[in-house]
Amino acid sequence: MKSRIDVLIVDDRLDGLIALEAILEGTRYNLVTARSGLEALELAPKYNFAVILLDVQMPGIDGFETAMRLKNIPTCRYTPIIFVTAINKDDTYVFKGYQSGAVDYVFKPFDENILRSKVSVFADLFEKSIKIEEQTQQLKKSAANEHYLRLAQLEVESLKRYQNLANSIPHAVWRSKADGTMDYFNRGWRTYTGLSDQQSHGLGWQVAFEPDDLKVFLRTWMKNIGHAGDFEVEGRIKNAEGESRWNLIKAIAETTTNGEIIAWLGTCTDIHDRKITEEKLIKAQQEADAANAAKTNFLANMSHEIRTPLNSILGFTELMMGPLQSADDQIKNLAIIKKNGNSLLKIINEILDISKVETGHLEMEVVETDLRHLLIDIHTLLEVQAHEKCLKLNFRCSNPIPNKIMTDPTRYRQILVNIIGNSIKFTKSGQVDLEIGWHPDTENPHCGILRCFVIDTGIGIDSEDAKNLFQPFAQVDSSKSRRFGGTGLGLALSLRLAKALNGDAYIKESKVDQGSTFQVDIRTTMPGDADLVGRLDMSIKEAEPAVINYKNSLRQTRILVVDDSSDNRNLISQFLLAAGAEVDCAVDGIDGVGKALAKDYEIILMDIQMPNLDGHKATAQLREKGYSRPIIALTAHALKQERINSINAGCDDHLTKPIDRRTLIEQVAKHKLKMNKPQKISTLI
């Protein structure tokens, strides 16, 4: 239903009001009447009048005053006012009405049709203005709606671009509300964790975290909520395969202009491989630092171990050169010098051997080995050390062992000597026992494990120190090392030698101040003609050390010694002269070749490293010129390849310095027996 138009009629006379109402009555207008200007002013704010019919002459405030006041009321500012008057039509009077805000005059007595027409015109204008206003508002509303729609479209497009961007990132991207409940995850998160959006939203994402790391993440997050600080933390997240992998979680706060947090944006980046690499690098650095520290301690100890025998060697040598030495004193001093020389040689050999092992240059020479004789040799060697400390040294079989095995006898002997010698060193009283047994394979009884237990009643070792006992350069306690001596290489070398023989070496059991048990295994085979031996103790007791008579063993043997070191020439010459040989010397390879071709020598001892012409080249020249008698190489190099190089150059044998007197005499005597009849010099020229 169309609403009626409000029209205000103001007249102090009732008959005037009735007359106007009668003219305007009908369904179109809602006629509102006022008997005074003040009443009209009270009604004006309550309505939206289309037109006001205002009597001019009224008590109190007249029509002119009322009109001016009505114009100050917002709802009436633009409302047309028609003055109704029965008096003056003077222009001045009319002009005053227009100044007061009137738009028209109706003079009494008035024509009803004219009055009705004027009111109707203003009513039509009012309706049109209302319609225009409504249309304007509608247009504004439509424009606003269109604007909001465009903004919404832009927001949707922006969100879509953001989601596409987030999905293109090869990391997990997430967004949470200010309270920490998640409301967005990108494709990277879903692919990485295997969790759907439904599973992840809210607090569901927490199932992907390792519990301990989740606590750290939440604790870090809570610390930053108060001041909207960005943060990052590392934590383990389970991937779709269920593997816990390290991730770097970064988050930034999304805030309002006044700093209030409205959301959090974050990423999860898989750093597992980098983390593992970092941990390995840290561990490697720690191990390297520990190794360097161990090497530093080792070098300090090694300096002590080398200088100690050197001090004895140099000191007693100086005493030997003095005038007050009796024959007995000289013999004792010489024994001390030899003992310390052997100690120094052992240290050097251990350093060289561990160096070969660490660089992969250690080679095994597996040959048929008489196990019984090997054990006798070890017992004979170590029994002297045990006797000096009043210790019992017992060798026995825990079960029958082969009398022959296939192994490297030198290296197996070295393993047992090191470990048994170590037990003797750290045992003050009681005994050291070796229990050895053969454990054949079920399928092939000729193959198996040769197992030794070395049991002592020594100082023992705690479990923590035992972990490093077989590490190179490591010693349990430097104070004990100083007290008992040793380089710290023996056990480490034994372990590596045992592994090279397809075995192992380790400390099986130890108690502080009660003793230790070491176990040594090597995998080996027994030759087809080998027998099993069940008893060992009596065999060892029956062993007697060999006695060699050096005097005249090389009687009238003509020997040429070629060495650039005058001390070595002098030492070797004295060994040979004492055995009855005839000795000449040469100072280098050139001198040696000349003398060898000028005189009938039966054997040549050739140093390898010499100036001008080295031993290999000198030997090659002699062989080219037809010299066919034995040439024995002398070298300070202990590598197997050096022996091969010497043989390839034409040498018949190879001796390593320092030269052992017994070995030297035996080698020369052996080659003398093999030697052909003496050659004539003319055949060599």
Query: What is the SS3 assignment for 291-333?
Result: HHHHHHHHHHHHHHHHHHHHHHHHHHHHHHCCCCCCHHHHHHH
What pLDDT, on the 0 to 100 scale, is given for residue 435? 94
Looking at per-residue pLDDT, the higher value among 665 and 364 belongs to 665
Going by the DSSP 8-state scheme, the letter that residue 206 receives in this structure is G
Q: Are 234 and 264 in contact (CB under 8 A)?
A: no
Rounded-to-integer distance, Cα 432 and Cα 50, Å? 129
Q: Taking 70 as the threshold, does the pLDDT of residue 651 lie above it?
A: yes
What pLDDT, on the 0 to 100 scale, is given for residue 682? 33
Q: Taking 50 as the threshold, does the pLDDT of residue 427 lie above it?
A: yes
Q: Taking 60 as the threshold, does the pLDDT of residue 252 lie above it?
A: yes
Q: In the structure, what pLDDT confidence band is assigned to residue 638 with cuts at 50, 70 and 90?
A: low
Structure tokens belonging to residue 430: 């009681």
Query: What is the SS3 assignment for 441-500?
Result: CCCCCCEEEEEEEEEECCCCCCHHHHCCCCCCCCCCCHHHHHHHCCCCCHHHHHHHHHHH
Domains and CATH numbers, the chain: 5-135 (3.40.50.2300), 169-270 (3.30.450.20), 287-356 (1.10.287.130), 363-542 (3.30.565.10), 558-684 (3.40.50.2300)
Stretch 32-53: mean pLDDT, rounded? 90
Residues 588-612: tens digit of each pLDDT = 999 999 999 999 999 999 999 898 9
What pLDDT, on the 0 to 100 scale, is given for residue 517? 95
Q: Taking 90 as the threshold, does the pLDDT of residue 93 lie above it?
A: no
Could you tell me the CA-to-CA distances from 379 to 293, 383, 537 in Å, in that order?
36, 6, 10
Residues 387-416: tens digit of each pLDDT = 989 999 999 999 999 999 999 998 999 999
pTM flag (> 0.95): no
Q: Taking 90 as the threshold, does the pLDDT of residue 197 lie above it?
A: no
Looking at per-residue pLDDT, the higher value among 149 and 659 belongs to 659
Rounded-to-integer distance, Cα 328 and Cα 345, Å? 26
Residues in a beta bridge with 557: none
Decide: helix, strand or coil at residue 662: helix
**Burial grade of 295 (CB within 10 A; 0-12, 13-18, 19 or more):** middle
Closest CA to 181 of 203, 207, 199, 198: 203
Task: Give me the phi and psi of 463, to 5 degrees please.
Answer: -65, -35
Closest CA to 333 of 315, 346, 345: 315
Closest CA to 650 of 674, 632, 675: 632
Q: Taking 80 as the threshold, does the pLDDT of residue 30 lie above it?
A: yes
Place of tokens 């008035």: 110
What pLDDT, on the 0 to 100 scale, is given for residue 88? 59
Stretch 542-547: mean pLDDT, rounded? 44
Q: Are 7 and 33 in contact (CB under 8 A)?
A: no
Q: Taking 90 as the threshold, does the pLDDT of residue 432 lie above it?
A: yes
CA atoms within 13 A on the CB side of 39: 14
Could you tell me the CA-to-CA distances from 649 to 594, 600, 615, 619, 668 in Å, in that order?
18, 21, 9, 6, 19
Rounded-to-integer distance, Cα 30 and Cα 346, Å? 131
Stretch 311-337: mean pLDDT, rounded? 81
Residues in a beta bridge with 236: 246
Least confident of 159-163, 324-328, 646-650: 159-163
Mean pLDDT score of the chain: 84
Most confident segment among 140-144, 296-300, 582-586: 582-586
Query: What is the SS3 assignment for 48-115?
Result: CCCEEEEECCCCCCCHHHHHHHHCCCHHHCCCCEEEEECCCCCHHHHHHHHHHCEEEEEECCCCHHHH
Residues 52-76: tens digit of each pLDDT = 988 888 888 888 888 889 888 888 8
Sign of the CA dihedral 415, 417, 421, 423? positive
Stretch 92-99: mean pLDDT, rounded? 66
Sign of the CA dihedral 380, 385, 387, 393? negative
Q: In the structure, what pLDDT confidence band is assigned to residue 677 with cuts at 50, 70 and 90?
A: very low
Rounded-to-integer distance, Cα 657 and Cα 646, Å? 14
Least confident of 279-293, 344-358, 443-457, 498-512: 344-358
What pLDDT, on the 0 to 100 scale, is given for residue 2? 57
